Structure 1
Amino acid sequence: MRKKSWRSTGAAVYSLNYHFVWSIKYRRRVLRAPVDETLKEAIKALCQEHGYELIALEVMDDHVHVFLSAPPKVAPSIIAKVLKGSTARTLFTKHPELKNILRNDHLWNPSYYVGSAGHVSSEINQRYIDGQKTKQEGGE
């Protein structure tokens, strides 16, 4: 469990959490032991190297869930590109048998899902913003 819900850089204080999901090309079920452990270690190392805080990680047989926090200067599309590209290279290098199962050296589907989350819900943010004008008019 994280000690605080926000992080900071020299220019920003933020709480940006992203849930990424991406799958194996053709939904092949290749992320079984020992490939899954290699993938987990690669994702952990990439998060550390790029300054992302890994919150949760689960590798299924044919897809991956990654929940992480990243600074606002890093676009989610860049995070996905880094994680998918680097892990594909790592897995093909350490598990060359994957090349026999997947054609043209494409490990991942080109698409992915990303959802954002902070420490408060969208409803709470909307109520807070809606209440600002009332607060100002009331002299608070």
Structure 2
Amino acid sequence: MHVPQERTTRHSHYNLNYHFVFTPKYRRHLFHGAVREKLMQVFRETCLMRDWIVLGMEVMPDHAHIFVSVPPKWAPSDVAKILKGVSARRILKEFPGLRGGEGSGHLWTPSFYVGSAGNISAGVIERYIQEQRKHQVDDDA
């Protein structure tokens, strides 16, 4: 696993890391063997094509975790939509048997979990911002 660190684009410095959890439709146990390996490969390739860095990933039989660092131009909802959409198309194409039965034609539930993480806790940021105001007041005096 990579350690999250600050990255740079032409217009920004950032450390935006998102933990996503996706579950298959009806929480089916789909991700074993070749299907699991293919899903991990698709996630890696999808991220690589967009300059997203995979910091961690685990695929369980009934859900998938991916921890990624993304540039600020990408909203978390767009990242989720792309990861789920690309993986669903490629997995269902390669493993058409997954289409049958419940949830036919759909790999993922419409919902997902996302949490953000960086190197600094929310409390540290709040204290830093409060201290900035105190320094401004002192400078104005």
Partner Cα separation in structure 1 for residue 3 and residue 80 of structure 2:
26
Query: Aligned to 1:103, what secondary structure does the other structure show?
Result: coil
Partner Cα separation in structure 2 for residue 133 and residue 53 of structure 1:
35
Q: Partner amino acid for 1:99? A: R
Give the Å deviation of 1:96: 1.4
What's the CA shift string for 1:102-140, capped at 9, x where partnerless?
43301100000111111100011011111112223445x
Aligned runs of 1:55-70 on 2, under 5 Å?
Answer: 55-70=55-70
Partner of 2:25: 25
Unaligned ranges ≥5, structure 2 = none
> Does residue 51 of structure 2 align to residue 51 of structure 1?
yes
Q: Partner amino acid for 1:8? A: T
Runs of 4+ with >6 A deviation: none
Moved more, 19-28 or 97-106: 97-106
Over the aligned positions, Cα root-mean-square deviation in angstroms equals 1.5
Identify if the C-alpha distance between structure 1 residues 39 and 2 changes in structure 2 by more than 3 Å, giving closer, same or farther.
Answer: closer
Give TM-score, length-normalised by structure 1.
0.93
Partner Cα separation in structure 2 for residue 58 and residue 4 of structure 1:
17
Give the Å deviation of 1:82: 0.5
Partner of 1:88: 88
Partner Cα separation in structure 1 for residue 73 and residue 79 of structure 2:
11
Query: Aligned to 2:31, what secondary structure does the other structure show?
Result: coil
Moved more, 106-115 or 92-101: 92-101
Partner Cα separation in structure 2 for residue 116 and residue 86 of structure 1:
22
Aligned runs of 1:1-140 on 2, under 5 Å?
Answer: 2=2, 5-139=5-139
Q: Partner amino acid for 1:34? A: A
Q: Partner amino acid for 1:89? A: R
Give the Å deviation of 1:28: 0.4
Unaligned ranges ≥5, structure 1 = none
